[in-house]
A and B are shown apart, each in its own frame.
Chain A
Amino acid sequence: MNYSFFKVKNDREVVRSRRVFLRKSGLGLAAAGLLIAGCADDDMTGLNGDDAVDLGSGDFGVLNYAYALEQLEAAFYAQVLQGSYYASANAEERQIMEDLEAHERAHREFFAAAIATVGTPIPALEVDFSSIDFGSRSSVLSTAQAFEDLGVSAYNGAGRLLQNADYLLVAGKIVSVEARHAAAIRSINAPSDPTAFASDMIIDANGLDLARTPAEVLSIASAFIATPINASNLPG
């Protein structure tokens, strides 16, 4: 009994603190104390160990990197649709969640098929959504916002790593849809702020969106991915 009590209490503490952090920072989940995956530093390869999923190198590795992120997003929205927030949401928000789930699932399925034409895609990743309360509107929307903004920044940062124009075009076809998602989620998550869709907290003074390196992206995403990922062979 006591063990269960403390375990539940501890989980709540983690959920609460992460939720507060998401709300305050939008994106910047601290890597400290969490599993760090995908560090570009060669020294990390050993830490990731033989059981880490290696994204691979070159354009192939970048495609696997995108596939990993789409797996994360697809898994998140699939779970959203199983949760009580979605069940009790208004029609507009239900439709948005259904659309986003379908879009991310389509992206995940596409990458699996496209990568398979040139090699072996990474396996299905195990996710860790223990910090998300799928019954809470604010928890779901804050996490969705963080994931969508993260996805946009990931594709924006990865474009320059690609050698193949066809791959770059596909990334472009997807990133703008992620940006459309991000704007919609931000809008419903902050209905009193008519600038939330492209907030000054995201868009800089030059009117530029965020761009992040794979190491930056994966250090954030790793809080939600249980499977260790080795991104050290990605182009840098």
Chain B
Amino acid sequence: MKIPTALQGLHDLSTAPEQQVPLTSRRQAFTDLTSLVGKLATIGLPLGAALAAPAGLRAQSGSVSVTDVLNFALTLEYLEAEFYEMGLSASGLLTGDVRTTIAQISKHETAHVAFLQAAISGAGGTPVTSPTFDFTAGGAFADVFSNPQTFLAVAQAFEDTGVRAYKGQAGNLLGAGDVLTAALQIHSVEARHASEVRRIRGSKGWITGSVNTSAPAASAVYAGEDNVTHLGVNATTVTTVTMDELTQAYDEPLTMSAVLDIAGLFIV
């Protein structure tokens, strides 16, 4: 049985003692697709049809309903909303201007949760319930709620992942009118968040190549961001800007499965 096996793998990963889970293992876990099915079972998303397609085709498979996309988005918003609420509640973690910035982001993520729940219900669907989260990712980010630098590094990873997640689902909302517009309106807010968190941390607001400026374990968040081919045009052949600038100028999508693989590290 695939699901119990995957669940067991995820369980082993999330319960392993911290000292036995070096960063390299965590990094591997970020790209370990075998845990996907377990996470989906945990999240309860009705994505059987999508999963049947090869990884690279899922976003374009056309077999994912609008409600499925919105529930996928809702799961990510649950993750972000709870993360920021916990951060703001953690004594002494966030102070001064950074606290004000995070409170603004938190307000948006909480609003996104309510908005998506209403949108899903309005479309005749049933909003998924929130997963149970472990923002230490099984101990990889043990001080996430006591060390502001760790908190902000994880925040950056969540925001940059969120941008890629919405982008990857746009095609599944083609022709969906108001729903597509709303998804795009959330997408650009996530990008604003990402830019601000990155800049607070001393990075540029935009992503250079596939360079991971978050925690070392977050390399999967940036995988493929160095793509330079768009609409079949190799942009390096038509531009006068440098390679770094060119890759900064485009954000890249992630498939639903790749996003859930990342988010799954924080789902118990």
Q: Which of A110, A159, A206, A211 contacts B230 (CB 8 A)?
A: A110
Q: For chain B residues 175-212, which have a beta carbon within 8 Å of chain A?
A: 175-178, 180-182, 184-196, 199, 204-206
Does the CB pair B245–A102 fall under 8 Å?
A: yes
In the assembled complex, how far is the CB of residue A7 from the closest CB belonging to chain B, in whole angstroms?
Answer: 36
A203 to B115, CA, bound (A): 13
Interface residues of B (CB under 8 A from A): 60, 97-98, 100-101, 104-105, 107-112, 114-115, 163, 166-167, 170-171, 174-178, 180-182, 184-196, 199, 204-206, 230-233, 235, 238-242, 245-246, 248-253
* Given A169-B171, A172-B184, A172-B253: A203 in contact with B191 (beta carbons within 8 A): no
CA distance A48 to B178 in the complex (A): 31
Task: Contacts A165-B60, A169-B167 given; indicate if A113 touches B238 (C-beta within 8 A).
Answer: yes
Within the complex, the shortest CB–CB distance from B137 to chain A, in Å, comes to: 25
B204 touches A172 (CB 8 A): no
Q: With A102-B241, A102-B245 as known contacts, state yes or no: A194 contacts B98, CB within 8 Å.
A: yes
Contacts of B177 in A (CB 8 A): 160
Q: Pull 26 A–B residue pairs with CB atoms less than 8 Å apart, ordered by A.
A: A99-B206, A102-B248, A106-B235, A110-B238, A113-B233, A160-B177, A162-B174, A166-B231, A167-B231, A170-B230, A172-B184, A172-B187, A180-B191, A180-B194, A180-B195, A183-B193, A187-B199, A194-B97, A194-B98, A198-B108, A203-B189, A205-B111, A206-B115, A207-B108, A209-B185, A209-B186
Number of A residues, CB within 8 Å of B: 53
Cα(A174)–Cα(B246), bound, Å: 11
Q: Identify B185's interface contact among A99, A156, A170, A187, CB under 8 A.
A: A156
Max chain A CB contacts within 10 Å: which of B192, B238, B250? B192
Contact assessment for B249 and A179 in the assembled complex, using a CB-CB cutoff below 8 Å: no
Min CB gap A95→B, angstroms = 8
B252: chain A residues at CB < 8 Å are 173
What is the bound-complex CA distance between A176 and B170, given in angstroms? 13
Kindly identify, within residues 132 to 163 of chain A, every residue whose CB is under 8 Å from any CB belonging to chain B: 152, 155-157, 159-160, 162-163
Q: In the complex, what distance in Å separates the CA atom of A207 from the CA atom of B111?
A: 5
- Whether B111 and A206, one on each chain, are in contact in the complex, defined by CB atoms closer than 8 angstroms, is yes
* 0/1 string, A83-123, CB within 8 A of B gives 1: 00000000000010001001101110110111001000000
For the complex, is A22 an interface residue (Cβ under 8 Å from B)? no
Least CB separation from A110: chain B residue: B235
Contacts of A187 in B (CB 8 A): 196, 199
Contact call A197/B195, Cβ cutoff below 8 A: yes
Contact A102 B242 (CB under 8 A): yes
Residues in A with CB closer than 8 Å to B230 are 110, 114, 170, 173
Residues of A contacting B246 with CB < 8 Å?
A: 106
A156 to B170, CA, bound (A): 11
- The CA-CA distance from A114 to B115 in the complex, in Å, is 36
Q: Are A180 and B238 closer than 8 Å at their CB atoms?
A: no
Q: By the criterion CB–CB under 8 Å, are A207 and B109 in contact?
A: yes
B241 pairs with A175, CB closer than 8 A:
no
Measured in the bound complex, the distance between the Cα atoms of B166 and A173 in whole Å is 11
> How many angstroms from the CA of A10 to the CA of B183 in the assembled complex?
45
In addition to A109-B238, A181-B195, 19 A-B residue pairs with Cβ atoms within 8 Å of each other are A95-B204, A103-B248, A110-B235, A117-B232, A155-B188, A160-B180, A169-B167, A173-B230, A173-B251, A175-B191, A177-B251, A184-B205, A194-B97, A197-B192, A206-B115, A207-B107, A207-B108, A207-B111, A208-B185
Q: Is the CB of B241 within 8 A of A194?
A: no
- Residues in A with CB closer than 8 Å to B235 are 106, 109-110, 113
A198 near B196 with CB under 8 A, answer yes
Whether B189 and A109, one on each chain, are in contact in the complex, defined by CB atoms closer than 8 angstroms, is: no
- A62–B133 alpha-carbon span in the complex (Å): 41
Tell me, rounded to whole Å, the shortest Cβ–Cβ distance linking A232 to chain B.
21
Measured between beta carbons, the chain B residues less than 8 angstroms from A25 are none
